[in-house]
Structure 1
C-alpha cells in the first residue's frame, strides 16, 4: 500500500515544489517521532495507534522521494546516499526504541525478552546491508539489478508478508497491550531471521557465480 499512497504524496510534493531530499527528511521526521514516543511514553492503546500511523506515514513519504526524483528528471547520488542513511538509521533505531520502551514500561517475565528487539536490530541491519552490497557488487560486474529480480507472483508476495515493513508498522497498534505485542513482534522477528538465513544462502551462491 505504501507505493500507491506514496504516488499521491509524490504528486502533491512535486506540485508544491518539494525536492526529493526534503521529502526524505519529512519521512524521517514522522518515523523518528514514532521511535522517540516508543522509548519515552508509557504504553497505551492511543499511543500504539499514533505510533502505527506515524511509522506508516513515514513509510509512505519514504516511498515518495524516489518518485519525486523521477518527476524532476532523475535523482542524484547525494539524494540516494541520504535515503540509504535515513533508512539504515530507521532500521536500527526502531528495534532499539522497542527494547528501551519494553525495559522501561513492560511487565516482562524476564529481561531475556529484550534480546528479541536487539536481535531484530541485528537482522534488519544485516539484511539491509546485504541488499545494498548485492547491488554494489553486481554493478562492479556490470550485472543489471533487474536481472536478479526473480519476477512477481502472488505466492512470493504472500510468503514475504511477515517481513514487510508495513506489517511491522501495523503491529505497533498493539503497543498498549504488551503481551500481545511481544508475541506478534517476536513472530515477526523470527520471520525476518528465517528470511535472512534463506537470503544469505541465495546471495552467496549468486555472488560466487559472478566471481
Structure 2
C-alpha cells in the first residue's frame, strides 16, 4: 500500500490545469494544502462527499462564530483558521475523486450547493457581527449587503458560463490551463483566501471594515469587467451557432 507521501506525489503529477488567471492564494497555497488533505483523506478511506461535508463543518462553524460570538482578536484568528481549513478541504474533495477514478454529478452538485450557501452566509454573518459594534455606523452595514450581492452574482455567472459553454461544446475556463503568475497576483484582492485572511483583523472592527470595503471594491470592479467579457463571449457563441 502506498504511503501518504506517495499518494501526494501521484496527485501532484495528475493535477488538472488551473483556470486561466486563477488568483494566487487559491493556486499556490490552497491547492497544495488541499492536495495534502486529499492524500490523507484517501488513505483513511474517506469519500469525496464526506470530505465536502467535513469542509462544510469547518466553514460553517467559523461563519457561525462570526455571527454569535462577540468580536475579539482571538476569535478572528480562530475564524480565519476554520475558514482556511474548510477552503483547503473544498479543494481536496475533487482531488480525492480523481484518486478514486473520477467524480460524479452528485458530488459536483453537493460541492456547488455548499459553496452557494457559504458565499451568502459568510457576508451575512459579517453583517450581524458588525452590527454589534458601537464603532460601526448603521449605514456602513450596507457594505456586507453589497458584498453578498456581488459575491453571489459572480458565483452564479461563473456557473452559468460553464453551463452555457458546455451546451455548445466549448471547454470551460476550469478545464483549460493557462494564465500567468502576474495575472494571478493581480487578482489576489478577489481571492477568497485573502477575504479569509482579513478576519485576522476582526478584533479591530474599523480596521477590518476598511480592508473588507477595499476587497468589495476590487470584487465589484472584477465583476463589472468580467461581465462585459462574458457577455461578449456569449454573443460570439450565438453568432457561431447561427453561422452557416
Q: TM-score, normalised on structure 2? A: 0.84
The structure 2 residue matched to 1:122, chosen from 149, 152, 156, is 149
- After superposition, residues 3-82 of structure 1 pair within 5 angstroms as 3-82=31-110
Contact 2:133 2:205 in 1 (8 A): no
Q: How big is the shift at 1:146?
A: 4.7
SS of residue in 1 equivalent to 2:132 = helix
The answer to whether structure 1 residue 201 and structure 2 residue 228 are counterparts is yes
Contact 1:138 1:144 in 2 (8 A): yes
Q: How big is the shift at 1:150?
A: 7.6
Q: How big is the shift at 1:45?
A: 0.5
The answer to whether structure 1 residue 170 and structure 2 residue 191 are counterparts is no
Rg comparison, structure with higher value: 2
Change (3 A) 1:78 1:140: same
Give the count of matched residue pairs.
210
1: CA distance between counterparts of 2:74 and 2:61?
A: 15
SS of residue in 2 equivalent to 1:170 = helix
1: CA distance between counterparts of 2:36 and 2:180?
A: 25
The structure 2 residue matched to 1:131, chosen from 158, 170, 177, is 158
Moved over 6 A (4+): none
1: CA distance between counterparts of 2:107 and 2:30?
A: 20
Higher helix share: 1
1: CA distance between counterparts of 2:225 and 2:120?
A: 21
RMSD: 1.3
Contact 2:37 2:89 in 1 (8 A): yes
* Structure 2: runs of 5+ lacking an equivalent: 1-28, 239-244
The answer to whether structure 1 residue 157 and structure 2 residue 184 are counterparts is yes
Q: How big is the shift at 1:105?
A: 3.1
Q: TM-score, normalised on structure 1? A: 0.97
